[in-house]
């Protein structure tokens, strides 16, 4: 029911093109998954989400377990039926949200105990509970519960969390009760090559159907992140999908693809879209800028999204006037843009020209990029409706 | 270029079915116009707006003149091109927004002077300026500037405003410079039969291509409003379209259609939609209600809108979780519902069964209605993105 097929590996980079079959359909890789934290990608209908080109969506275990509750989602037929998204769904485990709650979470070998960001209610998440909830949600891919630490951190703290993550991965695997849900394990180990490689090997021995790289974009520089990928992906099973969690900017995605990563998720397209920052092939566009007041051109003339049927002047007006149509349209544009990036990457890999594609993207995006390595996983706060947090 | 064709008048009520040809297409009447205050119907893309069945959209002169400015809209090719809506557009004159600014507006025979609700800037609106701005916006139908008073009011104040509205209508007509924009005059006169009839006759003598009824839903009861329609529409030219401004609830619309009204606009579908109140044939549904927590049924099984592809439980969850997808979906549903109401009314009139249709709607909606005669014209505040003002 799960099958990852590697179709082509680039000769000069580590970039790979492949396909991942799931019970709800096939995903072409490299793939970008929009984040549907609470059962919806913020501001988009299912039709609009599908039209962006998205093939697989991410849901957040922590958020859905708090609201409406895993039992409610299960009673309503699972997350596919509840949300209306009938394609593949991956759910995270809640590990990153525990991390983002930081001071309010207590982690022992048995479990994490923390207070809900909504009402302060005590909430427990063990590896077994994280899997149980994801089985209630009915996602196609469940993530194991991991222990994430902020960087920089003491070597001992990083090692302790990494080793716990390996033990928790084994417990998650043992807790699986469903045949139609695949579990992905998560490689931790901070910025340390020895720890990352050891962790990857330990998890490989447990034979999961897929592997993620966690604990990145949590305080380190982009260069450090790329360096970690340089030594981590080669230690991961070649024939299994590799998923870089919560990353990132367009440049991060094409850099990670060059290092053999197959899957991504990030809130940047929607979070930035709500705050008037649009991604384009020529670099980011800050739509509140007065220079667009009478600009007739669209964001990108060759983009098929509904935002690009409008002038920059109109999009700017929507933000200046506080119209929610602005956040909606630019979220759609950004999600469409991210899908266009991974599609272009797949095409470049198939044509054996990924190195040129990457060089071209570096030349433009490194000069005109959004400067951030902020992790683009939805944190416990879950993203306000009108979040003013930009990742600029 | 403008032609109103009466196709059928109901034998037992005053209900009429017809069509209004404009430079941007034909509108079937009775028609409901969604309100696109600032160049967008709140929360909807153009594709979604079209899919609701809307044929004509209303834009607000006051709001667009303040932001982005009539000169900006004109420079960008007019409101059709600016907003992306290529169907018919009607613009109001700003009269109602002056009324809503109340204490901050000074009205003389020459003009209204008031301060912008955005930045306190002084703004002047004369009949000539109201027409000039609407010509810059390039709407298909422009409304004359009128003087609206809150009800109840002294008879003398109502008469003074009504008489000024007639003089201003004549000045608007004289100010017209474009051949491809029709002006509709506005009948005022409060709740007084003599004043309403006199006003309608004075305006009829000026031979406008269409006539509106203004100054209703401004404090009077629904019964008073229906009574005013009872004696006002017969005094208006039979062969011209009749437009009831800023009204209203579904029951108000079907009652007004019975009294010979052809066109409506109202912010109720979107304002209520943003606040979790959905309109249905069975009456309003308040989506935050705990009884919907696990309700699998949709709002309306026979509704083609994207909200009705979801369960009530999911829609409730979106509002409880603060997801903007909730306001979006229910705005779309409500706008679709209003279009379904006027379509059903047109069908009933054509089949000679409007009296039965009205009796049926009265039986259900009067028992389960939204209790309000609040005017559904966008006021000067323009409706917040997350307006908590419900018209319940």
For the stretch A216-259, pLDDT in tens is 988 899 999 999 999 999 999 999 999 999 999 999 999 999 99
**What is the distance between the alpha carbons of residues A196 and A189, in angstroms, rounded to a whole number?**
5
Does the pLDDT value for residue B302 go beyond 50?
yes
A329/B42 touch (CB, cutoff 8 Å), yes or no? no
Rounded CA gap, B41 and B44, in Å?
6
Residues A4-22: tens digit of each pLDDT: 999 999 999 999 999 999 9
The dihedral built from the CA positions of residue B308, B310, B311 and B314, taken in this order, carries a sign that is negative
Share of chain A above pLDDT 70, in %: 96
Q: CB-based contacts of A217: which residues, under 8 Å, 6+ apart?
A: A225, A246, A247, A248, A252, A373, A374, A375, A376
Cβ distance B67 to A328 less than 8 Å, yes or no, reads no
**CA-CA distance, A176 to A172, in Å (whole number)?**
7
Question: Percent of chain B at pLDDT above 90?
Answer: 85
φ and ψ of B141, to 5 deg: -125, 125
Nearest CB neighbour to B76, from listed A68, A296, A321: A296
Using alpha carbons, select from B51, B12, B58, B10 the residue that is nearest to residue B31. Answer: B58
Q: Is the peptide bond before A244 cis (omega within 30 degrees of 0)?
A: no
Nearest CA in chain A to B295: A76
Residue A1 confidence (pLDDT): 79
A293 to chain B nearest CA, in Å?
8
Contact A4, A348 (CB under 8 A): no
Question: Which of B36, B37, B38, B40 is best to mutate for the A interface (most A CBs within 10 A)?
Answer: B40
Supply B31's token pair: 């028609």
pLDDT at A385 over 70: no
Helix (H) or strand (E) holding A361: helix A354-365
Q: Over the stretch A130-151, which tens digit does the pLDDT of each residue have?
A: 999 999 999 999 999 999 888 8
Q: Rounded to 5 degrees, what angle do the CA atoms A303, A306, A307 make?
A: 80
Minimal CA separation from B329 to chain A, in Å: 7
User: In chain A, what residues touch B77 (CB-CB under 8 Å)?
Assistant: 296
Taking a C-beta distance cutoff of 8 angstroms, is the pair A368, A50 a contact? no
How confident is the model at residue B386, as a pLDDT? Answer: 37
Give the containing element (helix H, strand E) for B71.
Answer: helix B70-75
Mean pLDDT of A356-372: 87
- Choose among B166, B247, B102, B44: nearest CA to A329: B44
Q: Which residues of A17-37 are buried (b: 16+ CB within 10 A; e: fewer)?
A: bbbbebbbeebbbbbbbbbbb
Nearest chain B residue to A311 by CA distance is B82
B38 and A386 within 8 Å at the Cβ level: the answer is no
Q: Do A327 and B324 touch (CB under 8 A)?
A: yes
Residue A162 has pLDDT above 90, yes or no: yes
Residue range B14-35, pLDDT digits in tens: 999 999 999 999 999 999 999 9
- Residues making up chain A, counted from first to last: 392
CA of A21: how far to CAs of A89, A137, B194, in Å?
A: 12, 19, 75
Is B43–A325 a contact, with Cβ atoms under 8 angstroms apart?
A: yes
Tell me whether the omega of the peptide bond preceding residue B68 falls within 30 degrees of 0, making it cis.
Answer: yes
SS3 call for B48: helix
Q: Which residues of A touch B384 (CB under 8 A)?
A: 322
Range with the lowest mean pLDDT among A364-378, B65-79, B191-205, B294-308? A364-378
DSSP string, B91-110: E--SHHHHHHHGGGEEE-SS
Q: b/e per residue, B9-35, with b = 16+ CB within 10 A?
A: ebeebbbbbbbbebbbeebbbbbbbbb
Q: Decide: A331 and A42 in contact? Cβ < 8 Å.
A: yes
pLDDT recorded at residue B377 = 85
How far apart (Å, rounded) are the C-alpha atoms in residues A145 and A134? 11
Do the Cβ atoms of B323 and A385 come within 8 Å? yes
What backbone phi and psi angles, to 5 degrees, belong to B267? -85, 0
Could you report the per-residue pLDDT of B331-367, keeping only the tens digit for each? 999 999 999 999 999 999 999 999 999 999 999 998 7
Rounded average pLDDT over A161-182: 97
Q: Mean pLDDT over residues A285-304, rounded?
A: 98
pLDDT of residue A186: 98
Q: Which residues of A touch B45 (CB under 8 A)?
A: 48, 306, 325, 328-329, 332
Sign of the Cα torsion A18, A23, A25, A30 reads: negative
Residue of B nearest to A72 (CA): B294
Q: Select which of A10, A92, A140, A262 is catalytic.
A: A92
pLDDT digits (tens, 9 = 90+) for A25-58: 999 999 999 999 999 999 999 999 999 999 999 9
pLDDT for position B331: 98
A311 neighbourhood in chain B, CB within 8 Å: 76, 82
The arithmetic mean of pLDDT across residues B125-150, rounded, is 96
pLDDT (tens digit per residue) in B78-123: 999 999 999 999 999 998 888 888 777 899 999 999 988 888 889 9
A–B CB contacts, 8 A cutoff, strictly below? 133
Average pLDDT of chain A?
94
Residue B376's pLDDT is what?
Answer: 84
pTM: 0.95
Can you give the pLDDT at residue B374?
Answer: 67
- Is the Cβ–Cβ distance between A219 and A152 less than 8 Å? yes
Among candidates A84, A293, A386 on the partner chain, residue whose Cβ is nearest the Cβ of B72: A293
Q: Please report the pLDDT score of residue A191 as a whole number.
A: 95
* Whether A309 and B84 lie within 8 Å, measured CB to CB: yes
Given this model, what pLDDT does residue A372 score?
A: 57
Q: What is the pLDDT of residue A389?
A: 32
Give the mean pLDDT of A195-205. Answer: 98
The CATH code for residues B32-271 is 3.20.20.105
Active site residue A92: yes
Over residues B371-381, the mean pLDDT reads 73
> Is residue B369 packed enough to be buried (19+ CB in 10 Å), middle (13-18) or exposed (0-12)?
middle
Put simply, the answer to whether B313 touches A38 (Cβ < 8 Å) is: no
Helix/strand/coil percent split, chain A, to 5: 40, 15, 45
Q: Where are the domains of chain B?
A: 32-271, 273-365
* Architecture of the CATH domain A1-392: Alpha-Beta Barrel (3.20)
Q: Determine the pLDDT at residue A369.
A: 75
Please give the pLDDT value at position B385: 37
DSSP B155-176: HHHHHHHHHHHHHHHHHHHHH-
Q: At what angle do helices B250-258 and B354-365 cross, to 10 degrees?
A: 150
| Best of A37, A45, A316 to mutate (most B CBs within 10 Å, chain B) | A45
How far is A343 from B262, CA to CA, in rounded Å? 50
CA distance B152 to A23: 65
Interface test with B, best of A119, A323, A380, A384 (most B CBs within 10 A): A323
B307, closest residue in chain A (CA to CA): A45
Query: Alpha helices, DSSP H only, in A84-192?
Result: 95-101, 127-137, 155-175
Residue numbers in B near A48 (CB within 8 A): 45
Instruction: List the single residue in B with minimal CA-CA distance to A38.
Output: B321
What would the two tokens of residue B338 be?
């209003």
Q: Quickly state the pLDDT bin for A370 (edges 50, 70, 90).
A: confident
Cα A251–Cα A253–Cα A256 angle in degrees, nearest 5: 110
Total residue count of chain B as it appears in this document: 392
Q: How far apart are CA A313 and CA B299, in angstroms?
A: 37
pLDDT in tens, A50-107: 999 999 999 999 999 999 999 999 999 999 999 999 999 999 999 888 888 877 789 9
* Residue predicted with more confidence, A112 or B151: A112
DSSP secondary structure code for residue A292 in this structure: G
Euclidean distance between CA atoms B248 and B253, whole angstroms: 6
For residues B362 and B13, give the distance between their C-alpha atoms in angstroms, rounded to a whole number: 14
- Residue A296 with chain B: CB contacts under 8 Å: 76-77
> What pLDDT was estimated at residue A383?
59
Chain B residue with the nearest C-alpha to that of A309 = B84
Helices (runs of H) and strands (runs of E) counted in chain A: 14, 16
* Residue B372 pLDDT: 57
Tell me how far apart the alpha carbons of residues B105 and B382 are, in angstroms, rounded to a whole number. 17
CB contact under 8 A, A317 and B68: yes
Q: Is the pLDDT of residue A391 over 60?
A: no
Residue B92 or residue A388, greater confidence: B92
CB contact under 8 A, B313 and A386: no
Contacts with A45 from chain B: Cβ below 8 Å: 48, 306, 325, 328-329, 332
Candidate from B38, B294, B323 with C-beta closest to A42: B323
pLDDT tier for residue B389 given thresholds of 50, 70 and 90: very low
Q: Do A296 and B44 touch (CB under 8 A)?
A: no
Query: What number of other Cβ atoms are within 10 A of residue A315's Cβ?
Result: 26
**How many H helices and E strands in chain B?**
14, 16
Neighbouring-strand partners of residue A242: A211
Question: Residue range B311-323: average pLDDT?
Answer: 98
Q: How far apart are CA B291 and CA A84, in angstroms?
A: 21
Give me the residue from B82, B84, B328 closest to A45, CB to CB. B328
Given this model, what pLDDT does residue B383 score? 59
């Amino acid at each position: 029911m799960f099958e990852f097929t590697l179709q082509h590996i680039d000769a000069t980079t580590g970039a790979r093109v492949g396909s991942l079959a799931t019970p709800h359909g096939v995903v072409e890789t490299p793939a970008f998954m929009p984040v549907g934290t609470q059962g919806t990608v913020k501001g988009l209908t299912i039709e609009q989400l599908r039209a962006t080109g998205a093939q697989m969506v991410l849901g957040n275990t922590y958020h859905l377990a708090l609201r409406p509750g895993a039992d409610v989602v299960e009673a309503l037929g699972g997350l596919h039926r509840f949300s209306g998204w009938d394609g593949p769904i991956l759910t995270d485990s809640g590990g990153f949200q525990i991390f983002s709650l930081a001071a309010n979470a207590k982690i022992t070998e048995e479990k994490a105990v923390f207070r809900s960001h909504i009402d302060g209610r005590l909430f427990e998440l063990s590896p077994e509970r994280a899997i149980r909830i994801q089985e209630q949600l009915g996602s196609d891919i469940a993530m194991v519960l991991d222990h994430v630490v902020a960087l920089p951190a003491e070597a001992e703290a990083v090692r302790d969390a990494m080793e716990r993550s390996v033990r928790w991965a084994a417990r998650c695997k043992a807790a699986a009760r469903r045949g139609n849900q695949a579990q992905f394990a998560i490689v931790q180990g901070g910025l340390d090559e020895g720890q990352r490689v050891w962790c990857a090997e330990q998890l490989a021995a447990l034979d999961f159907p897929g592997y993620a790289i966690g604990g990145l974009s949590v305080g380190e520089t982009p260069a450090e992140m790329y360096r970690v990928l340089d030594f981590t992906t080669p230690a991961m099973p070649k024939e299994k999908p590799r998923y870089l969690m919560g990353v990132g900017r367009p440049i991060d995605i094409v850099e990670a693809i060059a290092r053999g990563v197959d899957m991504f998720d990030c809130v940047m397209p929607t979070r930035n879209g709500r705050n008037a920052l649009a991604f384009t092939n020529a670099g980011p566009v800050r739509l509140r800028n007065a220079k667009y007041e009478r600009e007739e051109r669209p964001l990108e003339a060759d983009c098929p999204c509904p935002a690009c049927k409008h002038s920059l002047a109109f999009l700017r007006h929507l933000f200046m006037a506080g119209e929610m149509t602005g956040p909606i349209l630019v979220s759609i544009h950004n999600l469409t843009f991210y899908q266009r990036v991974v599609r272009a990457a797949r095409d470049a890999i198939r044509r054996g020209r990924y190195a040129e594609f990457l060089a071209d993207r570096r030349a433009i995006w490194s000069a005109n990029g959004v400067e951030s390595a902020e992790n683009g996983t939805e944190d416990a706060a879950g993203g306000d409706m009108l979040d003013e947090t930009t990742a600029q």
